[in-house]
Structure 1
Amino acid sequence: MTSRPIRVLDLFSGAGGFAQGFHEADDRFVTVQAVEMDLAAAATYSLNFPHAPVFGGRIQDWLATEKLPTNIDVIIGGPPCQGFSTLGKQDVADERNFLWEQYAETIRRTRPKIFIVENVAAFAKSPQFQQFSTMLDEDPAFSEYSFDHRILNSADYGAPQARKRAVMIGHRSDVAAPHWPEPSHAESPRTVAHAFSGIPHEVVSADTIEPRSTTFGGVQFNGPYSGLELHFGRDYRELSLKRFAAIPEGGNRFDLPDELLAPCWRSHRSGSGDVMGRMHWTKPSVTVRTEFFKPEKGRYLHPEADRAITHHEAARLQGFPDDFQFVGSRTAIARQIGNAVPVPLGRAIAAEVLKTLTE
């Protein structure tokens, strides 16, 4: 069994959820390069993985101007998915839908032993996925690679969150295909109660957070902040607090009495049951998105307290350890948390990659 470092190239790395999963799986995984366009997310990544060079900018610019790392064992990454997300208006022509082309170009130029693409479940049915698959099948430049894909639910692998993702795993012909991770928690998923263990219901005011700053790429950002420092709340109107109080655990806006309904809810009695929804203590949470701090955006009310979940609680649902440090504005940190690959899912995938590369 090899003890040499396993060299990882992390594309569209975000704050580092996928990388955190790999590093937790085994310390032989070493990130030799990360690429992330969002500078606040890149700053967060750099802070938590201080030995990893982080390119803060577009992947197109990285490919055009930088010397790419060599002897790559694994490429990981999830091209931005907003253009074909099932949430909100889809735009099949969104330029973000075509960043898979830069991912493919990186495979062509670095020839990794294994590559892993992670994205929203809808990616598997998109024209872009079909184009990517066709390129890998038919382009001679990728003739030595084979690949497979599945839809994986993070809750099946220990995340206290139901989050279905399309995962593609490819391997070079001189490397065995990694096995898909076996679900470890399908029958007994981790719950919101498990994730929130030890976190007080009471929150602090964001105004009381100690001012702190860090610089990355010549830009100054707020932070870093971690753990209970991110357990801050919002100032709600009295009407909002009355609505929250009227919604039971697992309930939603359909539980509100008429006098607390917004006019648009009175005229629309159908629609999503997650709007203004309260989480269940005894179930995994719904998918944590980038606006989890807004109850009107989904089932983001705390199971018991009359408030939305905090950044700290959302980070727990994504599997980040409490000492993981985040950089940026409150909105920027929420975006980093909501866009991350759940750490337990990354760890489960990494464990199978490790077996392939070391046995």
Structure 2
Amino acid sequence: MTSAPPHQSILDKPFVLDLFAGPGGLDVAGHRLGIPSLGLEWDRSACLTRYAAGLDTLHADVSAIRRESFESLPPEINVLAGGPPCQTYSVAGTGTGREALEEVKKFIERLMAGDSDEEIDKELRKLSDPRTALVLEPLRYAIQATRSPNRGHRPYDVIVLEQVPAVEALWVRYAEVLQKVGLPDGTRYEVVVDVLATETYGVPQTRSRAVLIARREGLGTPSLPEPTHRAYEAKEWNRRNGDSAAPVAQPTLCDASVPGPSPAADDDLEHWTSMGDALAEPVGTQHRGRRTPFLVRSNYGSSGIPGRRGVRTDRQPATTVTGRISRFVVFEHLDDDIVYEGARFSMNEAGMLQSFPPDYPWSGTAKAQQVGNAVPPLFGAHLLSAALGLPAPAPEVMREPWIPATEEQRAKLRSHGCGTADDCTARCPRPEDQTPPRSTSRPRRNTASRQ
């Protein structure tokens, strides 16, 4: 089987269903590529951001939609995408998902064998953290599509998934069964899986993601997106510029404006994008630019040593942007000898480090968490482009300021997504619906002294 010709879309009218859509990373990518999408998101604040951004959204539980109202989804959707919640698989999370990897693989086999949803749901409820089971939802949606009368039992043409690196083993298992076993109706896919570094696609941040791209048989063999930028090598940087992971009791900016290594002569890739590159120029209505050299102390890179935190200069890409981005301390210099703590990253700047466009309308509460949980839009655009046979996205297009929705547009989107123009309704999920049970494996800290 041959691949589709380069830069020739394999679908006439791609339409994306974005599961676990968050504040809109993949949808922003689709918007910039001219691809319509519908996002399913259970978090209220993330939905408020999406409405303000003008993104079509259902404020809903992904599992509930599949069980109760799958037939209400637009039948023309032909691309399934999503990044299931990573908290139980991430090294920064609970770890229960990593511990349950082999058990989750068995559920994949049972789903492909056509076991009943009711029986599988009964077994999944035994998992210690219900969020672990959400990594199965893309497969369950793919199966449900073949059972849907509203769709004419038509399978999705393309599947695009991303998660933290620990989930690669599950994506590999997805690939094996999609290629060799097929869905219960017999549909098979050609699949590629790998762990990719976001800075190699121009994102001003080092973030590794396990990705899966699948195409239905007959649509050509998929390939991973080609890197456009060089990988950031921390050891090489530290060897050239000193140990940037040292504690910052007395930070120094002597290396803040030192450029990184130049690409090799036979290397056509661009230099990775630094924080300074992303934030230096004024753009949009909210960002005035950061031209002064700076250092950033993050919650990453502690190496298990209390009090030690990862430190990078403005000439390096950011460390992985998490929900703690608002806690990252930024140091600037007043003159050659004095260093002081400057303004921390605004949410607009934090979003730009994730490659969200300037002026993106972050709304609701827990905005930092929204930023940290999102798919970097530039990375998402590369994934969608590779999956659909489109040319790689132009970085300058992704950096254009975002035009928020008008009040009328926002109200219309919320009426569709929540049921009313200015509030949630009984059909919207409650935050406690997906709150994991308290762990009994660790003693709770005594917090009485803090209250």
Considering the TM-score relative to the shorter chain, is it more than 0.5? yes
Q: How does 1:17-28 map to 2 (within 5 A)?
A: 17-24=25-32, 26-27=33-34
The structural deviation recorded for 1:315 is 0.7
Alignment pair present for 1:196 and 2:199: no
The residue type equivalent to 1:147 in the other structure is V
Q: How does 1:192-271 map to 2 (within 5 A)?
A: 192-198=275-281, 228=286, 249=295, 271=304
The structural deviation recorded for 1:82 is 0.4
Query: Which of 337, 355, 368 pairs up with 1:319?
Result: 355
Equivalent position of 1:30 in the other structure: 36
Equivalent position of 1:61 in the other structure: 64
Aligned residues of 2:80 and 2:138 also touching (Cα < 8 A): no
Separation in 1, partners of 2:198, 2:371: 15
Aligned residues of 1:162 and 1:287 also touching (Cα < 8 A): yes
SS for the counterpart of 1:165 is strand
Equivalent position of 2:312 in the other structure: 279
The residue type equivalent to 1:191 in the other structure is S
Equivalent position of 1:235 in the other structure: none
Could you give the per-residue CA deviations for residues 98-133 of structure 1, whole angstroms, max 9, x where no partner exists? 1122211111223211101110111114xx546544
Alignment pair present for 1:355 and 2:389: yes
Separation in 2, partners of 1:101, 1:129: 10
Q: How does 1:137-176 map to 2 (within 5 A)?
A: 137-138=180-181, 140-141=183-184, 143-176=187-220
The structural deviation recorded for 1:343 is 1.4
Larger Rg belongs to:
2
The residue type equivalent to 1:55 in the other structure is L
Equivalent position of 1:76 in the other structure: 81
Could you give the per-residue CA deviations for residues 267-313 of structure 1, whole angstroms, max 9, x where no partner exists? xx962599444431111110000111124xxxx53565614433222
C-alpha change, 1:303 and 1:338, in structure 2 (3 Å) is farther
Could you give the per-residue CA deviations for residues 326-350 of structure 1, whole angstroms, max 9, x where no partner exists? 1112xx2111110111111111122
Q: What percentage of aligned pairs have identical amino acids?
A: 26
Query: Which of 352, 361, 364 pairs up with 1:328?
Result: 364
Could you give the per-residue CA deviations for residues 59-85 of structure 1, whole angstroms, max 9, x where no partner exists? 111112222322322111100010010
C-alpha change, 1:103 and 1:82, in structure 2 (3 Å) is same
Aligned residues of 1:279 and 1:301 also touching (Cα < 8 A): no
Aligned residues of 1:101 and 1:132 also touching (Cα < 8 A): no
When normalised by structure 2's length, the TM-score is: 0.58
Query: Which of 365, 368, 375 pairs up with 1:341?
Result: 375
SS for the counterpart of 1:279 is strand
Task: Structure 2: state its 5+ residue gaps.
Answer: 1-7, 98-127, 146-154, 231-262, 264-270, 334-339, 392-451
SS for the counterpart of 2:210 is strand
Could you give the per-residue CA deviations for residues 161-209 of structure 1, whole angstroms, max 9, x where no partner exists? 0110000111101211232111101151000101111369xxxxxxxxx
Alignment pair present for 1:119 and 2:163: yes
Aligned residues of 2:143 and 2:183 also touching (Cα < 8 A): no
Separation in 2, partners of 1:281, 1:48: 29
Task: Structure 1: state its 5+ residue gaps.
Answer: 201-225, 232-247, 254-268
Equivalent position of 2:424 in the other structure: none
Q: How does 1:177-192 map to 2 (within 5 A)?
A: 177-186=221-230, 187=263, 188-192=271-275
